[in-house]
Structure 1
Amino acid sequence: MNHDEAANPGAPQMFQKLGSITRQLHDALKELGYTDKLKGTVDQLPDAQSRLSYIARLTGEAADKVLNHVELGKTEQGLIAERGRQLADTISRVPALAKAMPELMEWTNDIIKTSEQTDARLTDIMMAQDFHDLTGQV
């Protein structure tokens, strides 16, 4: 095949050559006994495609469910942290309370810190859901 034939995809000689190569491949596979095996494989392709579509759909549903729960959890953690800050502010405005029960302020600060750490973990979980986009693309 020369350069002009490669540049012109409609060239009849190119199609004849391709047809000849395809026939040779078909005959070689038939002689080796692979024709029946290939027919079975071709029949399995639609089943594999439907299974992959099913997996992609379930993965998407699971990712959406996780994201919905993470968003709710982040809202709840934000509320807990805010309430903890309000409690810390109230305790600090009553010096006698802070002196009488110093562990109360410590517990309040622990609640705020733990809530913020949990919120950060929830954010990591949310960001990890990008696997769903990749699954759908693949």
Structure 2
Amino acid sequence: MNDLSNILENATPADDAGDVSDVSSDRILARIGQLTRTLRDSMRELGLDQQLQAVAQMVPDAHDRLKYVVTMTEQAAERALNAIELAQPLQEKMHTDARLLDDRWAHWYEVPLARDDASALIADTRSFLKQVPQSAEATNARAHSGTTTLRSANSPMATTVPTADGCNGSR
């Protein structure tokens, strides 16, 4: 390294301007090559070359695993959003029907209705109450299908993940 420093320190202004002589260039390149070989040999003697190869092989494997997790999470999130979109109309209908019934009951408390109108209000309320469990079950089923998939994709439990060599490993 001192040789390279000496060459660079002893460079003339003409060298800085781009007129480097072929001899100086050859010496610099030769010295860089020599330093590279020395570094490689030193790494080999210390056993770092094998560790470096192992680390280099782990990077694609980690990349493949991360890519798999990202893909599975994306798919699960998509399913969860689809389940929410499917359940939303059921929830909106229940909300609207409940509001309408509440308004009708509030009106009845203010001004009692005739018997036939009161009977219709009671029948509509009972019909709504019978539909609530069905709507809730449908909503839960749709939401459960999306969130179960989302949870299993992100689960730290033993999940098979493809490795770089094509085999499945467990996380």
TM-score by length of 2: 0.42
How many residue pairs get aligned? The number is: 98
Aligned partner (choices 84, 94, 101) of residue 108 of structure 2 = 94
Aligned partner (choices 68, 79, 83) of residue 97 of structure 2 = 83
Alignment of 1:19-58 (within 5 A): 22-58=36-72
Answer with 18-27 or 30-39: which moved more: 18-27
Kindly state the Cα deviation for residue 22 of structure 1 after the two structures are TM-superposed.
Answer: 4.8
Q: Deviations over 1:47-95 (max 9, x none)?
A: 2221111111001001111111222333322221111111012212323
Provide closer, same or farther for how the CA distance between residues 92 and 41 of structure 1 changes in structure 2, counting only shifts above 3 A. Answer: same
- Cα distance in structure 2, aligned partners of 1:18 and 1:56: 43
- Counterpart AA for 2:44: K
Q: Deviations over 1:32-58 (max 9, x none)?
A: 111112112222222222111111100
Unaligned runs of 5+ in 2: 1-7, 10-14, 19-24, 133-142, 144-171
Kindly state the Cα deviation for residue 21 of structure 1 after the two structures are TM-superposed.
Answer: 5.9
Unaligned runs of 5+ in 1: 112-121, 123-138
- Cα distance in structure 1, aligned partners of 2:76 and 2:101: 37
RMSD value, Cα: 4.2
Higher helix share: 1
Alignment of 1:69-80 (within 5 A): 69-80=83-94
TM-score by length of 1: 0.50
- Counterpart AA for 1:64: E
Provide closer, same or farther for how the CA distance between residues 25 and 87 of structure 1 changes in structure 2, counting only shifts above 3 A. Answer: farther
- Cα distance in structure 2, aligned partners of 1:92 and 1:64: 42
- Paired position in structure 2 for 1:63: 77
Provide closer, same or farther for how the CA distance between residues 30 and 81 of structure 1 changes in structure 2, counting only shifts above 3 A. Answer: same
Provide closer, same or farther for how the CA distance between residues 37 and 92 of structure 1 changes in structure 2, counting only shifts above 3 A. Answer: same
Provide closer, same or farther for how the CA distance between residues 21 and 54 of structure 1 changes in structure 2, counting only shifts above 3 A. Answer: farther
Q: Deviations over 1:94-130 (max 9, x none)?
A: 23379xx9xx9xxx9xx9xxxxxxxxxx9xxxxxxxx
Q: Which has the larger radius of gyration?
A: 2
